[in-house]
Amino acid sequence: MQHYLYLIPALPLLGFLVLSMAGKRLSRNLIAGIGAGSICVSALIALITSASFLQSPPATGAYRQVLWHWFVTGHLSADVSLRMDALSLVFICIITFIGALIHIYSIAFMREDRDYARFFASMNLFVCAMLTLVMADNLVLMYLGWEGVGLCSYLLIGFWYETPANYRAANKAFVITRIGDTAMIIGLFLLFKELGTLYIPDILAKAPQQFSSGAHTITLIALLLLSGGIGKSAQLPLQTWLPDAMAGPSPVSALIHAATMVTAGVYLIARMHTLFELSPIAMQVTAIIGAVTLFIAGCSAMVQTDIKRILAYSTISQIGYMFLALGVGAWSAAIFHFFTHAFFKALLFLAAGAVIETLHHEHDIFKMGGLRKKMPVIFYTFTIGAAALAALPLVTAGFFSKDQILWYAWSANGGHPVLWALALMGAFITAFYSTRLILVVFWGEMKTTPGHLPGNAMTIPLVILAFFSVAVGWIEWPHNIMHVSLFSELVQQALPTTIMKGDLPHEIVFQFIAVVVSLLGIYTGYVLYYGQSELLMRWKQSDGLMNVRHFLYKGWKFDQLYDMLLVRPFMFITGINKSDVSDKLYTAIANANLYLNRIFSVSQNGSLRWYVTGVLIGILFIITLQLLL
Amino acid sequence: MSTLHAHTVLIVAAILFVLGLAGVLTRKNIIFMLLSIEIMLNAAGLAFVAAGSRWQQPDGQVMYLFILAMAAAEVSVALALVLQIQHQHKTLDVEELKELKD
Amino acid sequence: MNELQLSALLPFIVLAMASVVVILLIAFRLSHTVIQVVGFLMMCLVVFATWYVRDTLPQEIPPLFIVDGQAAVFTGLIIFSVLVIGLFSYIYFEEREENPKEYYILLFLATLGAAILTISQHFISLFIGLELLSVSLYALIAYLRNRNNAVEAGMKYLVLAALSSAFLLFGMALIYMETGSMKFSGIAEQLKTVGSTPLFLMGLGTIIVAIGFKLALVPFHLWAADVYQGSPSPVTAFIATISKIGTFAMLLRFAQSIHLQQYPLAVTIFSVIAIASMVTGNILALQQRNLKRLLAYSSIAHFGYLLVAFLPGNDAGTEAAIFYLAAYSITLLSAFGVIILLSSRQHEAEELHTYDGLIWKRPIIATVLAISLLSLAGIPLTAGFLAKFFVLSTGVHQAVWLPLIVLVLSSVIGLYYYLRVINSLFSTTVSAEAIPKPVHPFFHISTYITLVIMAGLICWLGIFPSVTLQGIRTFLMLH
Amino acid sequence: MILIWMICILLAGGIVSWLVARTSPLLAKWIALLAVTVDLLITCWLFSVYQAFPDNTSWYINHQANWIPALGISFHVAMDGFSHVLLLLTFFLGILAVLCSWKEIKEKTGFYFFNLLWTLAGISGVFVAMDMILFYFCWEIMLIPMYFLIILWGDARRRYAGYKFFIFTQVGSLLMLLSILALYFIHGDQTGKYTFDYFSLLHTTMVPGVAKWIMLGFLIAFAIKLPVVPFHNWLPDAHGEAPTAGSLVLAGLLLKTGAYGIIRFVLPLFPESAVDIAPIMILFGVAGIIYGALLAFSQTDLKRLIAYTSVSHMGFVLVGVFSFNNIAMQGVVMQILTHGLSTGALFVMAGMLKERLHTRDIDRMGGMWTSMSGMGGIAILFTMASAGLPALGNFIAEFFVLLGAFVNYPVFSIIATLGLILSAIYSLRMLQKVFMGQQHFTEPVKDISARELVIMAALSISIVALGLFPQPVINTVQHLSTIHPLLHE
């Protein structure tokens, strides 16, 4: 089966090539067929390959296919070669499967758009790049995919490029992630300098021999790679681009900015887990960043009014959970949360896209309302998604994955009560804003009349995603409840098992607390937005609270901070040096010559007597020299 | 003795030469400038004669003859030019001769 | 004087005869064309004579002259230049002067003067040669007395030349006073025994004034632009090439004989003069809009470059200097040839705007001018580059770094004004000035052809200098 | 011998097309195209020949003829893999330069192609000349026709740009000439054999103090051409004002002669001094990367903007060369090639935009993607190439350079890597200003034509091919590790 591995990324690439070159001349149906078809076939191949992988795992633990030798010079070599082990398998399946659903959804969603072909071309390229990222067996190729998804994200955020806000958001996303990428590539340099290879299995094998645990170099490498992950996964302090990235079409937000690309950082850290394990500091930093991010982003999500920004902040927050899990060493829990999150967040975005589309591009949730009856399919699927996000116990996938993380945040080797407390607060907040979202959008009175309702092409993917948002949780149960751990068994082929602390309280206590907290969150949301909304009214009178609200609304004012610290100085420097200071020097030399020319020209005044004086000066000069020497 | 003598003459020649130079520098009339140059030339001639006498050679005096001849030739051309200048500019003031300049 | 010595002087005798023949022809009232042709033939005769006597070289004619390989090269260069200038003169004077014939007498006399400078090894012959050159030049400059401020230029040149002659004479007198000889070799011998005295050095200094004047070196350069501008263009070409070649030949021989470069004073003076000339010449030319003045300033700088080759005082330097002079003369003559061709009876083609877009109107002439300007700027593929290359190479070998660096930097400044002229040639706005109709087709065409050949020569020298270099070397062996 | 023929074909092609243009400008274009194409085909053929014998001596073509024997100057041309790669680039971009002038040049077509071909001849001469004087000749010869290209077919400030270009490069050239002469005499005085031959001069031993000064002469010349930051000022003006093909040749080829010179001459001739000065040069390189990027960001003139990106990119060359690391050296060669292609493509694109919009001011553009979707896509490809996106050749180049430099100079390498962020910033700004936003122009703008598509497709394919299959190039220039002892590792 591994001989067909290359088809998984190659088909989307082919789709991209065809669409980008001939897109203008193809009919809309053909474009949709190529765009979505290539991904669907790719997904099919991915599923078959995975099935074969699961049935008979290869001896090496991975399928590998070398396509061609990319470059070899000295010790540095990199191949264009694909690798599929348990970890990448999860990612590949998610990318292709959810990607296929979103493509199908987009066929209808983007139908009226002028640049239909460009949309599918970019989406296909994105899938190809994302697959390259997760299938790469060396870091250079991985970086190729890494940057490739960045480019596609840029292209798709700025898809409607005529609106300034859109292309600004696109630029912002690209530049901020580039900052992380640059740190990451420096990490690559350092890795190469230390280990002399960039082939991932080699690195993982060599690193423990080369570095002692906690060595400075390995910490530095891990932190640099972490920075790359932070940039891509929109974690603190590089999280500011993601809310703005919602300028892109909703399927883009669903695929790129929720399900797949933003979790690339999670993948990177999980992939390079050996390096992180060698550096307790880097692990701690990862955990702290995750915990703080999930809290901060959650707070912002509570007060947003744009439906997509709410979801964006929630994405940041959920990836924060994953980082937290990675940081405490709960590898499979992080990947499991990625797995479940991909389904319900994609679902939420697609459903939100459908709502927005139906309400004539209305983003403000307070201008929605009462849609429960009008669009039931959307309502139910959206509710399932939101419930999963809020981690409604036992019936949603989100519960199972988040519960694990909460448990490990305390109990894993790297865990800490503070991390757990932050994660718990996050869970409360998540439940609260999920409830707020549902109540405001679907209950209450109708403020905007819905237009044309979405058709089957859009609702069927929603239904499928909704099904998975519920069902995928059941493959991995908390082991004190039921011994089903299909997922962690798979993932642990590639990732180490979580090391636990000694003498812990009963897990059931934590589960109970988690359940109570999420329910409490849901109840609070219900009280504030359905039951006792006058309480909210009273709060709105208070200036202090409104200031806090504004602060949170602006995403803790990180944008303003960066604007002041980085953007303005940069603009200032480039602004004053627009005409190139060094040019002045040369202009000055030229002017000095011209000035001298004018001075000397005065001597050519035509006066014979002055000319005679010139001769006299000459002879005097000669005599002086003679006297001096 | 003759060395001393020659050097004394040389000093006279040098004084004459400087006088001539001063004349060229100070006079505005072209004729007077030419005269001053003649003085300089003759100063050089005098120096030659003195040098010749120092070494007891006729060369110095031969040279003086050449100088005289050359001065005559030069003056003849110069006077022709002076006539033209007078004709064209109606003056012999060198300060009026400034058409050619930067 | 024996037969061999006489035959060695044959070229110079023929040259002297040329003036006499022209006088006779004028006496017989023959036409301009005849004089031109005869003059041309006479000059060819001089070349033949030089060729004829080359095997007998070197030949000393004591006490005044020495005809050696170096003299032959310089004389050859002078004769070549006068041939070209003579040809250019026809169309220039035929259009302007009712009576252009006496011009040739003066031209040949001046040439004779310059030629004598190359072979003189004695103060008297030096003086005679120089004065022959100067006095003829006074008249030549002011020849077109009614135009172009020629008289003013003539007067300026006269006063300053006479002044410099006075300095020269006084200097010579001082040296004679100290050494008791007017023959270069005699002076050298005396110096060997007695050593240099202050008076001798003073004499040397004053002689430098005269040489500096003739070569238009700073600070004796002030006349150059005015005289270049005021003179008839062929005479300007003459001053720029022949007069300077002769003077430089004289300087070279004098320096070689008395080993001038062993005196730090002389070296310092020449270094300072060279540096000053390079800088001043190039800077003065920067904004100049009159092509003749521009060439005057450029020649000031060029002779500064030349002095860099002169400074080391070795054979390589002499070779470099000769090559430089050859390249420079050819280049400058072609530039002046273009000016002459474009000048009309009414006006001299000296203002830069006359040349705007010339390449689109008269591509060949403009190309010639462009090539000669590039050569002056020292751009490869032209003779000017190799000339500069040889100068640099001499300088580098002798490690005279300061003048070299100044040379490099000032020639970069110089690029600007050459480029300005080239820009003007290639300008897209074509000058409205009418191109004069050729009055004398035959001479017009031959001038044209000469120019093309000269341009070809510039390139040929710039690409394949081997033959020329070998020739110069062979001649320099003869001493 | 074949090398001389290649140069002669260009020279002759130039003259013929000048002469022919009077009767038929179209024929002149075809002749120019033919001349360059023939050269490209010859070079490609040689490439396949060379690939068949990669283990032979690295100098697989070596031809020497007398020129000025008296001075030890010979007509010595030779080619190794490095020269070969550069020749390929020269003729490839040469063809594109002819093609992109097809419609743009309406006046004096013959003279234009004459100049273009002679510039190319000079450049290819530079890449194969193995006699210092011949090298110097070619070095200068490429300038004059280039100068004419700028002052005759350039934009409004073409004269200023022309002067600046010529004078800047000339300062360097003359200093280099002094250095060549000094080297010549030192070598001659030592061995008694006065020669300008590169291979003989390679074995010159010099007092370190002297070697430093001589090297400086070379280095300044190449630094001005490259350009290194304090000497870069000619570049934005020359690039900005030159006609499209002029900018293409300037950015794609002329700058590369500087890089070539440093690698071919400075490193092997002055191995010790080059090591001594390396940290300073790397500092200059890093400064160039950052400074160029900052300036590129603030420009509003599209061509000047691209020009400053060249300054930034050429900083990588300097960093790579002077980090004395084999990987970095391969990166430098890649950078030379890929920068030629990507920046060349951007200039061609700027030319196309100017042809349509009659402005180079990006503030007056915007929204061009709507009417020029084809060009928009290609623009993204090349701005991303310029921003160092993987899968495109520039990434390989910059990755190699930075990785190689990191081994020896980690701090400088990190600062240089920050240039990647800046390059993203200015690239995106350019893209945004030109192609995004609302369209300002009301009159319809034509999308890319077939001829333009051929140009851009050729460039796109090459840049992607170099990004995905760089190995042939790396193999061809593998021998560069022998030019300096430190590169052997």
pLDDT digits (tens, 9 = 90+) for A390-422: 888 878 888 888 888 888 888 888 888 899 899
Say if A464 falls within a structural domain. Answer: yes
What are the residues whose beta carbons fall under 8 Å from the beta carbon of A373, sequence distance 6 or more? none
Of the residues A68, A185, A194, A577, the best mutation for testing chain D's interface (the one with the most D CB atoms within 10 Å of its CB) is A185
Give A-chain residues touching C213 at CB under 8 angstroms. 615
What are the residues whose beta carbons fall under 8 Å from the beta carbon of A218, sequence distance 6 or more? A207, A211, A275, A278, A279, A282
CA–CA separation, B98 and C153 (whole Å): 10
Instruction: Evaluate the CA torsion angle A151, A154, A156, A159 in order and state its sign.
Output: negative
pLDDT of residue A399: 87
| Count of structural domains, chain B | 1
pLDDT of residue A413: 83
Q: Which two tokens stand for residue A1?
A: 């089966």
The size of chain B, in residues, is: 102
Residues 46-75 of D with CB under 8 A from C: 67-71
SS3 of residue A516 by DSSP: helix
Q: Are residues A382 and A437 in the same domain?
A: yes
CB distance A184 to A136 below 8 Å? no
Q: Are residues A362 and A441 in the same domain?
A: yes
Q: Which two tokens stand for residue D63?
A: 């031809």
| Count of structural domains, chain A | 3
CA–CA separation, A628 and D12 (whole Å): 60
- pLDDT beyond 70 at A388: yes
pLDDT of residue C333: 94
Q: What's the 3-state SS for A564-597? A: HHHHHHHHHHHHHCCCCHHHHHHHHHHHHHHHHH
Q: Are residues A400 and A333 in the same domain?
A: yes
Q: Which domain holds residue A558?
A: 543-578
What are the residues whose beta carbons fall under 8 Å from the beta carbon of A423, sequence distance 6 or more? A291, A294, A321, A324, A405, A406, A409
CA–CA separation, D84 and D2 (whole Å): 13
Q: Which two tokens stand for residue C332?
A: 């400058």
| D167 closest CB neighbour out of C397, C415, C466 | C415
What's the gap in Å between the CA of D366 and the closest CA on chain C? Answer: 33
Q: For residue A165, with 0-12 CB atoms within 10 Å meaning exposed, 13-18 middle and 19 or more buried, which class applies? A: exposed
What one-character-per-residue DSSP string does C423-461 give?
HHHT-SS---PPPPPPSSHHHHHHHHHHHHHHHHHHHHH
CB distance A157 to A149 below 8 Å? no
| C205 closest CB neighbour out of A594, A617, A622 | A622
What are the residues whose beta carbons fall under 8 Å from the beta carbon of A113, sequence distance 6 or more? A119, A249
Say if B101 falls within a structural domain. Answer: no
Alpha helices in chain B (DSSP H): 2-26, 30-54, 59-89
Q: Are residues A457 and A569 in the same domain?
A: no
CB distance C263 to C196 below 8 Å? yes
Put simply, whether D118 touches C (Cβ < 8 Å) is: no
Put simply, whether A628 touches C (Cβ < 8 Å) is: no
CA–CA separation, C470 and D68 (whole Å): 10
CA–CA separation, D272 and D431 (whole Å): 44
CB distance A340 to A395 below 8 Å? no
Amino acid at A595: Y
CB distance A283 to A328 below 8 Å? yes
How far, rounded to the nearest angstrom, does the alpha carbon of residue C134 sit from its chain's CA centroid? Answer: 13
Say if B8 falls within a structural domain. Answer: yes
What are the residues whose beta carbons fall under 8 Å from the beta carbon of A583, sequence distance 6 or more? D233
Alpha helices in C142-243 (DSSP H): 150-179, 184-194, 198-214, 222-230, 233-238
SS3 of residue A339 by DSSP: helix
CA–CA separation, D4 and A1 (whole Å): 55
Mean pLDDT of C37-59: 87
pLDDT tens for each residue of C388-420: 999 999 998 888 889 999 999 999 999 999 999
How many CB atoms lie under 10 A from the CB of residue D62?
Answer: 15
- pLDDT beyond 80 at C435: no
Give A-chain residues touching B98 at CB under 8 angstroms. 605-607
CB distance A234 to A261 below 8 Å? no
- Looking at A541, A570, A592, which one is the last position of a domain? A541
Query: Which uninterrupted H or E stretch holds D71?
Result: none
For the whole model, what pTM was predicted? 0.91
CA–CA separation, C313 and D255 (whole Å): 41
Q: Are residues A624 and A508 in the same domain?
A: no
Put simply, whether A178 touches D (Cβ < 8 Å) is: yes
CA–CA separation, C67 and C79 (whole Å): 15
Q: Are residues A437 and A549 in the same domain?
A: no
SS3 of residue C269 by DSSP: helix
CA–CA separation, A422 and A81 (whole Å): 41
**Rg, C-alpha atoms of chain A:** 30
What are the residues whose beta carbons fall under 8 Å from the beta carbon of D293, sequence distance 6 or more? D308, D309, D312, D419, D422, D423, D425, D426
- pLDDT beyond 50 at A40: yes
How far, rounded to the nearest angstrom, does the alpha carbon of residue A457 sit from its chain's CA centroid? Answer: 27
CA–CA separation, C216 and D84 (whole Å): 51
SS3 of residue C61 by DSSP: strand
CB distance D85 to D476 below 8 Å? yes
pLDDT of residue B1: 43
What's the gap in Å between the CA of A617 and the closest CA on chain B? Answer: 12
Say if B27 falls within a structural domain. Answer: yes
Say if A20 falls within a structural domain. Answer: no
Beta carbons of D178 and C419 less than 8 Å apart? no
Give the CA distances from residue D182 to residues C113, D224, D243, in Å, rounded to whole numbers and listed in that order.
40, 20, 38
Q: Are residues A351 and A412 in the same domain?
A: yes
Q: Which two tokens stand for residue D461?
A: 């394919």
What does the CA dihedral A325, A328, A330, A334 come to, rounded to 10 degrees?
A: 20
Q: What is the mean pLDDT of each run of 10 residues along chain D (489 residues)?
A: 88 91 88 92 86 66 86 89 90 91 85 92 92 92 90 88 91 91 91 89 86 92 90 90 91 91 91 90 92 90 91 92 90 92 91 86 83 86 90 91 90 91 90 84 79 90 91 85 78
Q: Are residues A341 and A460 in the same domain?
A: yes
How many CB atoms lie under 10 A from the CB of residue D336?
Answer: 30
How far, rounded to the nearest angstrom, does the alpha carbon of residue A186 sit from its chain's CA centroid? Answer: 20
How many CB atoms lie under 10 A from the CB of residue A456?
Answer: 10
Give the CA distances from residue C466 to residues A587, C70, C354, D33, D66, in Å, rounded to whole numbers and listed in that order.
42, 18, 38, 36, 10
Of the residues A587, A598, A604, A613, the best mutation for testing chain C's interface (the one with the most C CB atoms within 10 Å of its CB) is A604
Query: Which uninterrupted H or E stretch holds A70?
Result: strand A62-73
Say if A446 falls within a structural domain. Answer: yes
Q: Are residues A410 and A508 in the same domain?
A: yes
SS3 of residue B90 by DSSP: coil
- pLDDT beyond 70 at A294: yes
What are the residues whose beta carbons fall under 8 Å from the beta carbon of D38, sequence distance 6 or more? D9
CB distance B42 to C167 below 8 Å? no
Q: Which two tokens stand for residue C333?
A: 């003559």
Q: Which domain holds residue B39?
A: 2-93
Give the CA distances from residue D294 to residues A581, D299, D388, D398, in Å, rounded to whole numbers and listed in that order.
12, 9, 16, 18
What is the domain-level CATH number for residue B32? 1.10.287.3510
How many CB atoms lie under 10 A from the CB of residue D329?
Answer: 28
pLDDT tens for each residue of C81-124: 999 999 999 888 887 766 788 899 999 999 999 999 999 999 99
Query: Which uninterrupted H or E stretch holds B1?
Result: none
CA diameter of chain A: 117
pLDDT, averaged across chain A: 88
pLDDT, averaged across chain C: 89
pLDDT of residue D53: 66
CA–CA separation, D268 and D482 (whole Å): 9
pLDDT of residue C433: 67
The b/e string for A117-142 (b: 16+ C-beta within 10 A; e otherwise) is bbbbbbbbbbbbbbbbbbbbbbbbbb
Beta carbons of B25 and A612 less than 8 Å apart? yes
Residue ranges of chain C whose CB lies within 8 Å of a chain B CB:
123-124, 127-128, 131, 134-135, 138-139, 142, 145, 149, 151-156, 158-159, 162-163, 165-167, 169-170, 172-174, 176-177, 180, 182, 225-227, 229-230, 284, 288, 293
Beta carbons of A612 and B24 less than 8 Å apart? yes
| C162 closest CB neighbour out of B47, B74, B88 | B74
Give A-chain residues touching D380 at CB under 8 angstroms. 155
- pLDDT beyond 60 at A453: yes
- pLDDT beyond 90 at A213: no
CB distance D105 to D153 below 8 Å? yes
